[in-house]
Amino acid sequence: MVGRPRTGRRRKRTLGNRNRREQERDRKVGVGVLTQGEREANKRDFTKLELKVDHSNRPLWACADGRIFLETFSPLYKQAYDFLIAIAEPVCRPESMHEYNLTPHSLYAAVSVGLETETIINVLNKLSKTKLPKEMIDFIHGSTANYGKVKLVLKKNRYFIESPFPEVLKTLLKDDVISKGRISLEVSSFLYYLAHLTDHILSKTPGEMDTHSGLLDGADLAAAAEEKETHSFEIDPAQVENVKQRCLPNALNYPMLEEYDFRNDTVNPDLNMELKPQAQPRPYQEKSLSKMFGNGRARSGIIVLPCGAGKSLVGVSAACRIKKSCLCLATNAVSVDQWAFQFKLWSTIRDDQICRFTSDNKEKFRGNAGVVVTTYNMVAFGGKRSEDSEKIIEEIRNREWGLLLMDEVHVVPAHMFRKVISITKSHCKLGLTATLVREDERITDLNFLIGPKLYEANWLDLVKGGFIANVQCAEVWCPMTKEFFAEYLKKENSQKKQALYVMNPNKFRACEFLIRFHEQQRGDKIIVFADNLFALTAYAMKLRKPMIYGATSHQERTRILQAFKHSPDVNTIFLSKVGDNSIDIPEANVIIQISSHAGSRRQEAQRLGRILRAKGRLQDRMAGGKEEYNAFFYSLVSTDTQALYFVSHFVKFLCFLTEMYYSTKRQQFLIDQGYSFKVITSLPPPDTGPELSYYHLNEQLDLLNKVLNAGDDAVGLEQLDEDADDIALLKARRSVGSMSALSGASGMVYMEYNTGHGKKTAQGQTKAKQKDPSKRHALFKKRFG
């Protein structure tokens, strides 16, 4: 596939898309047609660019407007990629040609991992096929002039602002807010001198620099040479937040980098934990860690790795290196359990040093250092807490944390972040995420609340390396049958539309066919997801497969999951939404979605993450190995129905995972992006007969009758008791919920008042338990209302 003839075409396409986007923007701002045309022509005319003599050895094209194109077939690809990912934002990364964009934020990130302005320009110039355009050089100068000049360092629990440029510090001190926050000069400079002295000696020991080859030595040297003469002043810990605020680009424009000199921290007790010898970080995990600990100190920032690529190992390794108390934040109770498990799995931490703090699981914190795993909600919750949790939260507030580890940073609402960060005192913050795209476009906030992006892995490279599974995503189009569609269109059935398109016999047959094919031909493990409870029951009963939904008892769940994991006879299970936040979804390599309600992307990411974890032997998984695809994600959709809307949403989600733009010509587009996606229209194959269910018309009519006669409440979406720790994406969620759920208020109901959970008897009882505050007894209202 890698070859020159294709690249030209691909590049053109990206340019084309870009054109359209820009035209749209131009239209909005009202740029005249003529000027627009001229501008376009100027921008796209690269004839004046001078090719260097040895251009064929260089992998980059740098354009004046900040875009950079990288040839992935170049022998220098790996080095160039590492460099570009540090300085630029990836726009799209298909197989042979990547597009990157230089932005102020990406340059901020670059500066913060130790690259200097001149180094960036030099290396870029070395890699570029053409002379660097003057505009680009100016842009880099302009964007990096102030970034990274000032650092906020915590040393022996004192905050110092340090900078190698005395004039910058002078500018800062002229500001009222900052000079107020300053602690008197004589004392602080002496203390700082001491602290700095030890630091200087330490920095002479070989650092943890990663060694790139050839061209990029310059970049690393720059990071190493960071240890120059530094000037500093101390600020009052209480004023840190204000001072930080003053330094943001909208004020003084000297954004501060935060670093934690954990080796010299003698105030906070050490936590004795090491990585176990069997925990072997993969190359990209090593690389991301080396960016974080580049100069022997711990930098705050974000690491971006796709789902299933081993984010937790990165988190645990970081905690093991810092060896101080660590607060780990996850999005819900299930992932809290998973994190706690991961800590025990990869590190030598003792059981009594790690505790979980969730609404059902309030483990006491003992000893003077340890790891606490909890959820964002538990920490940020502002209302009244139970006595137990009040104690624990006090503990969390008062403690100084060496590392604040934040999982899934892109899904947490920005205000919750602020709160968490302001409540907890941490020296270093590490955010982990599968993607930096946020629902609420608050990337900027992340940049300043946590820190810049330290590392981002390329999805396709990980697939090629066999680190994550190569997933074949397919959308299966099932036409509605005549009778079902006639009912679907009737106005009186508007409540049952979903049930009708989910129960479409053609869809059922496609699902049955896929299950049979994967079970019998490939021996795969299959999970079928259905958000519609009626459909879930009907499918599972008809196909005689085990299923788990909200009302399934705990023993039953455990038994089914055990059987699915270990027994060769149970290869398929049906899961309702409950799989998303109340049970640890087992690993499988085939997922079939028979109905998705286009809920949160996080939910789908978790589902996809389940099959992304690479399985089987490594050599089979590598590029050119025995199996082309080793995981399958089918989304069944009844054509001409609302389901299409949701599936398109799903495709958008895929695009979002793989950093691609949504396009109406999505199929072709996704293939062009190097991502395997296809639409299957003929399933089951026309020659299948009565061996699949619902072959005969009268069977179909029976089914139709069942759907039509079922009560309205039975055919709707499953209503689960709101998970107290779940953080939902409010924007994208389509569940039927109360206003209080949408505003996040219902998440604040603690489990102890919620004892009816999971004890339902009949299927019809799946509606949420009465929780409406207005219906509470007056006594309780007083207390909780």
Partner 1 sequence: MVNAIKGIFISCDVPMAQFIVNMNASLPASQKFIVHILDSTHMFVQPHVVEMIRSKIAEFREQNTYEKPA
Give the footprint of partner 1 on this chain (CB under 8 A): 24, 479-482, 485-486, 489-491, 639-642, 644-646, 648-649, 652, 662, 664
Residue placing its CB nearer to partner 1 in the complex, 482 or 617: 482
CB of 106: closest distance to partner 1 in angstroms?
Answer: 24
User: Cis omega (within 30 of 0) on the bond before 255?
Assistant: no
Residue placing its CB nearer to partner 1 in the complex, 77 or 662: 662
CB of 477: closest distance to partner 1 in angstroms?
Answer: 11
Residue placing its CB nearer to partner 1 in the complex, 662 or 695: 662
d(CA 394, CA 402) in angstroms, rounded, equals: 17
d(CA 661, CA 652) in angstroms, rounded, equals: 8
DSSP string computed for 177-212: HHHHHBPPHHHHHHHHHHHHHHHHHHHHS-------
Residue placing its CB nearer to partner 1 in the complex, 642 or 735: 642
CB of 662: closest distance to partner 1 in angstroms?
Answer: 4
Residue placing its CB nearer to partner 1 in the complex, 378 or 598: 598
Location of structure tokens 């890698």 = 2
- Of the candidates 146, 141, 138, 145, the one whose C-alpha atom is nearest the C-alpha of residue 65 is 138
CB of 493: closest distance to partner 1 in angstroms?
Answer: 11
CB of 479: closest distance to partner 1 in angstroms?
Answer: 6
CB of 489: closest distance to partner 1 in angstroms?
Answer: 4
CB of 754: closest distance to partner 1 in angstroms?
Answer: 36
d(CA 62, CA 69) in angstroms, rounded, equals: 6
Residue placing its CB nearer to partner 1 in the complex, 30 or 277: 30
Location of structure tokens 């607060």 = 327
CB of 712: closest distance to partner 1 in angstroms?
Answer: 21
Residues comprising the chain, all counted: 785
CB of 732: closest distance to partner 1 in angstroms?
Answer: 11
DSSP string computed for 227-253: ----EEEEE-GGGHHHHHHHHSTTTT-
Characterise 324 by phi-psi region: left (phi > 0), alpha (psi -120 to 50), beta (else). beta
State the CB neighbour count (10 A cutoff) for residue 48. 8
CA distances to 176, 208, 230 from 179, rounded to whole Å, are 5, 36, 19
CB of 655: closest distance to partner 1 in angstroms?
Answer: 9
Location of structure tokens 């990029």 = 216
Residue placing its CB nearer to partner 1 in the complex, 13 or 769: 13
Location of structure tokens 């004795």 = 272
Q: Strands across the sheet with 89-92, in order?
A: 60-62, 67-71, 97-101, 89-92
CB of 343: closest distance to partner 1 in angstroms?
Answer: 39
Residue placing its CB nearer to partner 1 in the complex, 143 or 506: 506
Burial class (CB within 10 angstroms; exposed 0-12, middle 13-18, buried 19+) of 402: buried
Residue placing its CB nearer to partner 1 in the complex, 79 or 504: 504
CB of 482: closest distance to partner 1 in angstroms?
Answer: 5
> Do the beta carbons of residue 432 and residue 315 sit within 8 Å?
yes
CB of 80: closest distance to partner 1 in angstroms?
Answer: 31
CA distances to 479, 480, 484, 731 from 488, rounded to whole Å, are 13, 9, 6, 28
CB of 10: closest distance to partner 1 in angstroms?
Answer: 22
CB of 82: closest distance to partner 1 in angstroms?
Answer: 32
Q: 673 Cβ partners below 8 Å, 6+ apart?
A: 92, 94, 658, 660
d(CA 728, CA 449) in angstroms, rounded, equals: 20
728 is written with which tokens? 């939902």
Q: 747 Cβ partners below 8 Å, 6+ apart?
A: 377, 722, 723, 724, 725, 726, 727, 741
Residue placing its CB nearer to partner 1 in the complex, 200 or 482: 482
CB of 598: closest distance to partner 1 in angstroms?
Answer: 8
- Of the candidates 145, 732, 133, 700, the one whose C-alpha atom is nearest the C-alpha of residue 440 is 732
d(CA 553, CA 558) in angstroms, rounded, equals: 9
CA atoms within 13 A on the CB side of 138: 6
Residue placing its CB nearer to partner 1 in the complex, 532 or 638: 638
Residue placing its CB nearer to partner 1 in the complex, 143 or 638: 638
d(CA 268, CA 324) in angstroms, rounded, equals: 7
Q: Pairing state of beta strands 572-575 and 526-530?
A: parallel
Determine the straight-line distance between the first and last CA of the chain, rounded to whole angstroms.
63
d(CA 645, CA 637) in angstroms, rounded, equals: 10
Longest dimension (CA), the chain: 92
Residue placing its CB nearer to partner 1 in the complex, 490 or 626: 490
CB of 485: closest distance to partner 1 in angstroms?
Answer: 4
Residue placing its CB nearer to partner 1 in the complex, 312 or 641: 641
At residue 280, the 3 state secondary structure works out as coil
Residue placing its CB nearer to partner 1 in the complex, 363 or 640: 640
- Of the candidates 430, 361, 395, 401, the one whose C-alpha atom is nearest the C-alpha of residue 271 is 401
Residue placing its CB nearer to partner 1 in the complex, 653 or 675: 653
Residues 134-171 as b or e (16 or more Cβ within 10 Å = b): eebbebbeebbebbbbbbbbbbeebbbbbbbeeebbeb
Residue placing its CB nearer to partner 1 in the complex, 269 or 479: 479
Residue placing its CB nearer to partner 1 in the complex, 487 or 519: 487
CB of 694: closest distance to partner 1 in angstroms?
Answer: 15
At residue 256, the 3 state secondary structure works out as strand
